[in-house]
Structure 1
Amino acid sequence: MAQKALSEKLAILADAAKYDASCASSGGERRNSRAGKSLGSTTGAGICHAWAPDGRCISLLKILLTNFCIYDCAYCINRASSGVERARFTVEEVVTLTLEFYRRNYIEGLFLSSGIIRSPDETMADMVRVARTLREREHFRGYIHLKTIPDAAPELIAEAGKWADRLSINVELPTEDALSSLAPEKSVHTIHGAMAEVKARGEAAKDRTKRGTRAPRFAPAGQSTQMIIGADPASDGEILHRSARLYGDYALRRVYYSAFSPIPDASKMLPLIRPPLVREHRLYQADWLMRNYGFDAPEIAAPGKNLDLEIDPKLAWALANRQHFPLDVNRAPREMLLRVPGIGTRSVERILKARRYRTLRYEDLVAIGCVIRNAEPFITLPGWSPRGLPDDANLRARFAPPPEQLSLF
């Protein structure tokens, strides 16, 4: 077989990496650059592909080391039994691509994942060599995200965290039953064990010795994971419950949700059509409520229940709990203000700060930045009372957009 050109490999392995959603760079830290000897920065300018901690977009080279794989996960386009065209980068080829893309100002970092070739340890060792070569030999100070292989040896995971900013370990599917039936070569216990290892090493890296020196760095941007949505019958309630457990048990920075996409020659166990993309969007909104607004998973979607696809989950909760409203904006505690549709975390902080000095009026909320149209039915304050506004059924119709206007953004 003729050797593939580097450009051919890039086309195949960049396309194969598109199914992995867990490549955001939030949480990366600035690395000190030595003048004249360093490349890259997580804080520079570039093409927008991922979000940095302060809200800026940065670009990442997102590729697989190889799409060869010894595993045969039913939902994966790169499974062993798939007929897709295969390719494999060498360590030096990935290093070269990263540097050349950076020098052209196309990227500011690397997201590297891989199929499993020969063994988890051999594959993980190659990924670690990429990161180590970039850091040590090329003095690259840009962002590096490595997809960790759960079955790899702990010492390889430890070294990966030494060179990478973030590690991610995919739980793949929402339930243990789904994983055992669709990916029998993978184990929930192995995945959780690897997550626990990353969490423990990350916590140890934050500790100081008696002399005040820090332990060696370890994945300062933490760890993330991804779940495939719609490949199994798990409800949104089950998915959110699993996410809440992962956040609590393993201190994850993010859980990413990826709508299942039908693949060629798929197993009969898989659905024939993909779930609506808006379901993925609603799960991200619900996840945001859990991480930033103090909601518990069962409040958003009870076990066995799915999210309302027509309206966002915060509004759905408010409509289902009308007994808490209207809320007096000048007296309500922070945790209840956060539950008012149209009032976000920044607006809540501004409200709390402003009302220490004076009574807020309707026009003040406009100046603060609240989405007044959404908030009106749920608040009261001088200059505004929701009396006369329609009740539940009509309120739902007011907020649910026509199908042709429904947008993920």
Structure 2
Amino acid sequence: MHEKVQKKLKILADAAKYDVSCSSSGNSRSNSRGGIGNAVAAGICHSFTDDGRCISLFKILMTNHCIYDCAYCINRRTNDRARATFTVQEIVDLTINFYRRNYIEGLFLSSGVIKNPDYTMERLMLVAKKLRLEERFNGYIHMKAIPGASQELIQNAGYYVDRMSVNIEIPTEQQLEKLAPEKNYPSIIRPMNQISEGILAYKEERRKYRRVRKFTPAGQSTQLIVGASPESDRQILQLSSNFYHQQQLKRVYYSGYLPVNTYDQRLPAIQSPPLVRENRLYQSDWLMRFYEFSADEILTSDQPFLDLDVDPKLAYALRNLHLFPIDINRADYHMLLRVPGIGVQSAKMIVDARRFRRLTSYHLKKIGVVLKRAQYFITCNELAPRMTDWEPQRLKSHIVAASQMKRRKAGDTQLMLFHPTMNSPAIPKQLHSKN
């Protein structure tokens, strides 16, 4: 690799680490005769597909130059840091060379805004176009759409990539104007709507015609920064819910605010990113996408922030103890999903199994229900309701204490498996006996 390109790679790969909305969707873009790569069996930046496979993506910025001066961004215009810009051909060559060496299975391409949105978007689009048409690359490509770019450029880019994303970053327009005054909500929402409409049109045409030019077949995603502005978790989840229902987004990513520009007085004075809060938001997002929860069920106006001590599903159950315990043999699928310790697959198996017989706790264990958690919220043949007269706070303390005890015992077990001064497992005393 040329020394100049290697220097750029070091700068721009490091700058790309702040964008967390990096994933593969399991899209089935197959190979073609004479081409290389595919997006079928995709394992550098590690990501996970919908079916659980771990893949490696070449995660890079085209440039970390930027005309904007966003308070929360490491690449803001006024920061004194090393800058670099790849040419279109350099990114194409790097992607193909890394792929041929089996380093990567796809490309995640983002960029700062250089000169203007159209100029930047055109070069991003040309990277994907060259890879597809000239190099005949059929691997996975995830590209950022630049807010403010023309509809024609975004439309053309959608024909060559698998997924596009537009980062909204700050959850409310008021705070966006405060922290990034050169940006505005309409310029961000407009390309999101355009991509969403293009995906719907593509799906409609596929129903009518055998061969249709693909448009962003893996959908679109976005990213929200958590903690850089004072929005509540409820506001964030309601915004995410709207994206899922109106724009049909595949994923909303939550990035705990990294205090990279501590000198800016508009930003909160924190020492480390709010990782527990970020994790609770991902758990809540999972509930909305797979467990049929609405944002208003997870959080209310009286409780706008997630409980950091327990997961949001357990917090919901503790807030709504009047709905529990439920009878496993009678409750509908929707209600089964709201029981802590019962997952989507377990709920489906319960509904199927109880058609043939009444279920007991033995059957629930076989199905995969976590009875240590679910037992407080269910009844079945021989399992009577437990602690139904307890106050929510007391029950919460009991469950949290039991979980901590379980983790402590698991840690003690791990320590006992190995001798403290040796790498080999400790030998039980009875094995030293002559008998």
TM-score higher than 0.5: yes
Match in the other structure for 1:32 = 30
Q: CA deviation at 1:387?
A: 3.1
Residue 46 to residue 209, structure 1, CA distance change in 2 (3 Å): closer
State the secondary structure of the residue aligned to 1:50.
strand
Q: CA deviation at 1:383?
A: 2.4
Percentage of identical aligned residues: 51
Match in the other structure for 2:188 = 191
For structure 1, the 5+ residue unaligned runs are none
Match in the other structure for 1:336 = 335
Match in the other structure for 1:180 = 177
Match in the other structure for 2:356 = 357
Does the CA-based 8 Å contact 2:325-2:388 persist in structure 1?
Answer: no
Query: How far apart, in 2, do the equivalents of 1:302 and 1:266 lie?
Result: 35
Q: CA deviation at 1:265?
A: 5.3
Provide Cα deviations, 1:129-157, integer angstroms capped at 9, x if missing partner. Answer: 11111111111111000010011110110
Q: TM-score, normalised by structure 1?
A: 0.93
Provide Cα deviations, 1:24-60, integer angstroms capped at 9, x if missing partner. Answer: 112x42223124x122222336377111121111110
Match in the other structure for 1:292 = 290
Q: CA deviation at 1:331?
A: 0.3
Query: How far apart, in 1, do the equivalents of 2:323 and 2:347 lie?
Result: 17
Match in the other structure for 2:75 = 78
Query: How far apart, in 2, do the equivalents of 1:384 and 1:210 lie?
Result: 50
Q: Number of residues paired by the alignment?
A: 401
For structure 2, the 5+ residue unaligned runs are 409-435
Query: How far apart, in 2, do the equivalents of 1:345 and 1:143 lie?
Result: 29
Query: How far apart, in 1, do the equivalents of 2:399 and 2:21 lie?
Result: 31
Does the CA-based 8 Å contact 1:75-1:266 persist in structure 2?
Answer: no
Q: CA deviation at 1:393?
A: 2.9
Provide Cα deviations, 1:220-265, integer angstroms capped at 9, x if missing partner. Answer: 0111000000001101011111111111221111110000001145
Does the CA-based 8 Å contact 1:47-1:58 persist in structure 2?
Answer: no
Higher relative contact order (CA 8 A, sep 6+): 1
Q: How does 1:306-325 map to 2 (within 5 A)?
A: 306-325=305-324
Residue 265 to residue 351, structure 1, CA distance change in 2 (3 Å): closer
Does the CA-based 8 Å contact 1:224-1:253 persist in structure 2?
Answer: yes
Provide Cα deviations, 1:175-195, integer angstroms capped at 9, x if missing partner. Answer: 111101111111111111111
Q: How does 1:117-266 map to 2 (within 5 A)?
A: 117-208=114-205, 212-264=209-261, 266=263
Does the CA-based 8 Å contact 1:229-1:260 persist in structure 2?
Answer: yes
Does the CA-based 8 Å contact 2:359-2:380 persist in structure 1?
Answer: yes
Query: How far apart, in 2, do the equivalents of 1:275 and 1:24 lie?
Result: 21
Does the CA-based 8 Å contact 2:60-2:110 persist in structure 1?
Answer: yes
Farther-moved stretch of structure 1 (105-114 vs 48-57): 48-57
Match in the other structure for 2:65 = 68
Query: How far apart, in 1, do the equivalents of 2:261 and 2:69 lie?
Result: 14
Query: How far apart, in 2, do the equivalents of 1:265 and 1:69 lie?
Result: 19
State the secondary structure of the residue aligned to 1:7.
helix
Q: TM-score, normalised by structure 2?
A: 0.88
Q: CA deviation at 1:385?
A: 1.5
Does the CA-based 8 Å contact 2:30-2:38 persist in structure 1?
Answer: no
Match in the other structure for 1:399 = 399
The amino acid across from 1:395 in the alignment is L
Match in the other structure for 1:20 = 19
Q: CA deviation at 1:276?
A: 2.3
Match in the other structure for 1:380 = 379
The amino acid across from 2:144 in the alignment is K
Q: RMSD in angstroms over aligned alpha carbons? A: 2.0
Provide Cα deviations, 1:254-300, integer angstroms capped at 9, x if missing partner. Answer: 11000000114541000121442000000000111111111111211
Residue 383 to residue 210, structure 1, CA distance change in 2 (3 Å): closer
Query: How far apart, in 1, do the equivalents of 2:223 and 2:208 lie?
Result: 39
Provide Cα deviations, 1:62-97, integer angstroms capped at 9, x if missing partner. Answer: 110000000111110001011121111111111111
Q: Which runs of 4+ in 1 moved over 4 A?
A: none
Query: How far apart, in 1, do the equivalents of 2:66 and 2:355 lie?
Result: 60
Does the CA-based 8 Å contact 1:148-1:169 persist in structure 2?
Answer: yes
Q: CA deviation at 1:333?
A: 0.6
Q: CA deviation at 1:396?
A: 1.1
The amino acid across from 1:8 in the alignment is K
The amino acid across from 1:398 in the alignment is H
Residue 211 to residue 280, structure 1, CA distance change in 2 (3 Å): closer
The amino acid across from 1:329 in the alignment is I
The amino acid across from 2:313 in the alignment is K
Farther-moved stretch of structure 1 (378-387 vs 139-148): 378-387
Does the CA-based 8 Å contact 1:300-1:313 persist in structure 2?
Answer: yes
Match in the other structure for 2:108 = 111
